[in-house]
Amino acid sequence: MKINIIGAGVAGLSAGCYLQMNGFETTIFERHSTFGGLCTSWQRQGYTFESGLQWLLGSGKSNPFYLLWSELIDMNSIRFVHHKVRIEIEVKDHTDIFGDRVFHLYTNLSRLETYLLSIAPEDADPIRKLVHTMRRMQSYEIPPKIRSVPELLPWYQKISYIKYLPMLFFLNRIKKETNFTFADKLKNPFLKEAFRMLFDGDEMPLMIITMPLAFNDLKGTGYPIGGSVGFAGNLERKYLELGGRIRYRTGVEKIIVENNQARGLLLSSGERIPSDVTISAADWNFTLFNALEGKYVNKMILKLHKQEHLKVYYSVFMVSLGVAASFQHQPHFIRFPLSQPLTSPDGTRYERMEMHINNYDPTLAPDGKTVISISYYTLNADFWINLRQEDPIKYQEEKQKFAQLIIDQADARLVGLKEKTEVVDVATPATFQRYTNNWKGSVQGWLPGKNIIARSPVETMLPGLTDFYFIGHWTIPGGGLPVAIKSARDAVQHICKNKKVPFRVRSR
C-alpha cells in the first residue's frame, strides 16, 4: 500500500518511520533541499547557526516522550546538556536583597525554592505553593499513556483513564494562574518584577514555564549536542534505513481528491503521484486552503483561519553571530533591559533583549569561538513576508538596518562583541516562511489559548475527506517537537487500524 507524505520535518520523518515499520511503502515529498523543516541549522564560514532548538521534551527517561524518541532514535548516542539555570533575567527597577538585578531561574527545584526563599522570606507561602505544584506535576504521567490513542482503545481500556482524573482536576485548577496573577501574590518587589518578566513582559499561563521546570528538574528536557540538524538527522537516517524514499526540492501543489477520497499528489512540476493514503506534515494553512482548496472545512476550521479561536504562534527576527571568543563564563541564556527601546520596522516595540550564548555546544563553532543568537519574537510576520515579495531591495535594507541596531545594543552588553564578530546571519519571519512554508512564519503552529489544557480544536482527519491525515506542530497549540512525533505516531495507528494492519514498532 502506497502512502505519500508531504514534508520532511520531524513530523513527516516520524510518520515515515512508523509507516515503514508497518509494511507501508512511503515517499516523502519535501520542497526544500534538506530535511528537518523548522528543526534545522545552517553553516556559515565554519559556524553552525541554529534555528533554535533549545530543549527537547523527552531527552531523559523520566519523561514519557523518551519512549517515543527511543522508538526511532538511539537516544544513548546523543549527549544532552542539562542547564543549571534555565534563563537569567535582568530586572529593571529593583534589586534582590544581595543588590543583584539578575533573577536566576534554577532548574533544580530544591535550589530554586531555597533561592526564592532567600530573596523573599515574606513570600514563603506562594513560593512553597509554586514549588509544591511543580513537584506534583512530576508525580503525574503527562501526557498519560503516551503510546495509546484514546479514541482507538476498546471501552474497557478507556475506563483505565479514570485513574488520571485527579491529574485532570489538578491541572484544571491551576490552569488559570498566569505569571501576572502569581506576581500579584508576591510582596517582594524584585520577585514581582522577575515573574512579570518571565515571558518578556507578556502575560501567559504560568504552566508554560512550571511544567518544563518540573521536567527540567528530572532531567527530561535537555539540549542535544549537535543541535537541530544533528537531532533531525537521526530521523532522516532511520527513515532511509527502513527503506523510505525522500524526494527533495519537490514541492507539492495540490492533494488530488476523487469522490472525497485523497488519491495522490500533484507536484509543482505538474507530475501526478498516486497513492492509497496521503499524509500532510506541512503547514496547516497551505494544506487546508491551498492543497485542498478550502473544500474540507467546518465552522471551527474557518474560525481558526480568521484567528478567532487561536492566534498563530510568534515568528522571529533572529540575528546569529559567529564570534571569535569563547564566552566561557557567560550565562547561556540571558534577557536584559535595553538602554534604548527598539522598534522593529514591523511596528513591534521591544524593551529587552534575549540572547543565547551557545558556549555549551562545541560542535557549533571552531575551537575558542562561539555562536551567539538574539531573537525578537513578533506577531506581525506579514510585514516581512509582504515586504520581501513587494520590494526585495527595501526588505534587505530594513533587515540589515534593524539587525545593526540589535548588534549595537548587544555590543553595549558584551563589550567587544562587534569587534570579535566574524560572521553575521539575519533570518526574518520571511526567511522562516520561505524555507518551511509555515503560515505567517510561525515557529510553533498555534499559540496556546487561555484554556491551556483544553482539547485541541485542530483536526487530524478532515470533515468529509477519507484516506487523508494531517499531522505536525499545528495539531496541538504550543507545537514543538513532541507534538510533531506524537501526532505522527497517532496518525499511523489510525491508518493501521483502518487498513487492518496490527500496529507495531520495530527497528528494521
Ligand X SMILES: Cc1cc2nc3c(=O)[nH]c(=O)nc-3n(C[C@H](O)[C@H](O)[C@H](O)COP(=O)(O)OP(=O)(O)OC[C@H]3O[C@@H](n4cnc5c(N)ncnc54)[C@H](O)[C@@H]3O)c2cc1C
**The one segment of 50-58, 99-107, 385-393, 414-422 that binds ligand X by CB under 6 A:** 50-58
User: Rounded to the nearest whole angstrom, what is the least distance from the CB of residue 367 to ligand X in the complex?
Assistant: 26
Among residue numbers 450 through 479, which ones bind ligand X (CB under 6 A)?
472-473, 479
* CB-nearer residue toward ligand X: 383 or 432: 432
Q: HSE of 492 in the Cβ direction (CA atoms, 13 Å)?
A: 32
DSSP annotation of 449 = -
**The one segment of 162-170, 276-284, 333-341, 451-459 that binds ligand X by CB under 6 A:** 276-284
Beta bridge partners, 424, equal 321
**Among 54, 70, 108, 148, which residue interacts with ligand X (rule: CB under 6 A)?**
54
The pairing of strands 221-224 and 80-81 is antiparallel
> What distance in Å separates the CA atoms of residue 171 and residue 403, rounded to the nearest whole number?
41
Closest CA to 319 of 345, 356, 272, 275: 356
444 lies in the binding site for ligand X (CB under 6 A): yes
The answer, yes or no, to whether the previous bond of 143 is cis (omega within 30 of 0) is yes
Sign of CA dihedral 292, 298, 299, 303: negative
- Axis-axis angle for helices 10-21, 65-72 (nearest 10): 70
| DSSP per residue, 368-393 | T-EEEEEEEEES-HHHHHHHHHH-HH
User: Rounded to the nearest whole angstrom, what is the least distance from the CB of residue 132 to ligand X in the complex?
Assistant: 26
196 lies in the binding site for ligand X (CB under 6 A): no
Cell of 65: 516522550
Rounded to 5 degrees, what are φ and ψ at 430? -65, -30
> What distance in Å separates the CA atoms of residue 242 and residue 480, rounded to the nearest whole number?
25
Intra-chain end-to-end CA distance of the chain, in Å: 18
Among residue numbers 419 through 438, which ones bind ligand X (CB under 6 A)?
436-438
User: Rounded to the nearest whole angstrom, what is the least distance from the CB of residue 312 to ligand X in the complex?
Assistant: 13
User: Rounded to the nearest whole angstrom, what is the least distance from the CB of residue 505 to ligand X in the complex?
Assistant: 20
Q: Using DSSP, how many helices (H) and how many strands (E) does the chain show? A: 17, 20
* 205-244 footprint of ligand X as x/- string (CB under 6 A): ----------------------------------------
* CB-nearer residue toward ligand X: 16 or 472: 472
User: Rounded to the nearest whole angstrom, what is the least distance from the CB of residue 377 to ligand X in the complex?
Assistant: 9
**The one segment of 28-36, 89-97, 101-109, 147-155 that binds ligand X by CB under 6 A:** 28-36
Among residue numbers 278 through 307, which ones bind ligand X (CB under 6 A)?
281-283, 286
> How far lies 341's CA from each of 338, 409, 508, in Å?
6, 10, 55
Q: What is the CA radius of gyration of the chain?
A: 23
Number of residues that bind ligand X (CB under 6 A): 37
> What distance in Å separates the CA atoms of residue 379 and residue 474, rounded to the nearest whole number?
16
DSSP annotation of 412 = H
Task: Answer for the pair 15, 492: CB distance below 8 angstroms, yes or no.
Answer: yes
* CB-nearer residue toward ligand X: 6 or 73: 6
User: Rounded to the nearest whole angstrom, what is the least distance from the CB of residue 281 to ligand X in the complex?
Assistant: 5
Task: Answer for the pair 221, 55: CB distance below 8 angstroms, yes or no.
Answer: yes
273 lies in the binding site for ligand X (CB under 6 A): no
Task: Answer for the pair 253, 29: CB distance below 8 angstroms, yes or no.
Answer: no
> How far lies 311's CA from each of 121, 202, 298, 308, 444, in Å?
39, 15, 18, 7, 11
Among residue numbers 336 through 355, which ones bind ligand X (CB under 6 A)?
none
399 lies in the binding site for ligand X (CB under 6 A): no
User: Rounded to the nearest whole angstrom, what is the least distance from the CB of residue 117 to ligand X in the complex?
Assistant: 29
**Among 3, 316, 321, 476, which residue interacts with ligand X (rule: CB under 6 A)?**
316
264 lies in the binding site for ligand X (CB under 6 A): no
Residue that the C-alpha cell 507578556 belongs to: 202
**Among 3, 5, 8, 198, which residue interacts with ligand X (rule: CB under 6 A)?**
8
6 lies in the binding site for ligand X (CB under 6 A): yes
**Among 18, 29, 182, 439, which residue interacts with ligand X (rule: CB under 6 A)?**
29
**Among 52, 212, 244, 448, which residue interacts with ligand X (rule: CB under 6 A)?**
52
**The one segment of 1-9, 184-192, 270-278, 451-459 that binds ligand X by CB under 6 A:** 1-9
**Among 3, 5, 17, 53, which residue interacts with ligand X (rule: CB under 6 A)?**
53
* CB-nearer residue toward ligand X: 9 or 233: 9
Rounded to 5 degrees, what are φ and ψ at 95? -125, 160
Count Cβ atoms within 10 A of the Cβ of residue 203 and give its class: 0-12 exposed, 13-18 middle, 19 or more buried: middle
* CB-nearer residue toward ligand X: 290 or 404: 290
User: Rounded to the nearest whole angstrom, what is the least distance from the CB of residue 483 to ligand X in the complex?
Assistant: 7
**The one segment of 37-45, 77-85, 109-117, 147-155 that binds ligand X by CB under 6 A:** 37-45
Q: List residues binding ligand X (CB under 6 A).
A: 6-12, 29-32, 37-39, 51-55, 251-252, 281-283, 286, 316, 436-438, 443-444, 472-473, 479-481, 484
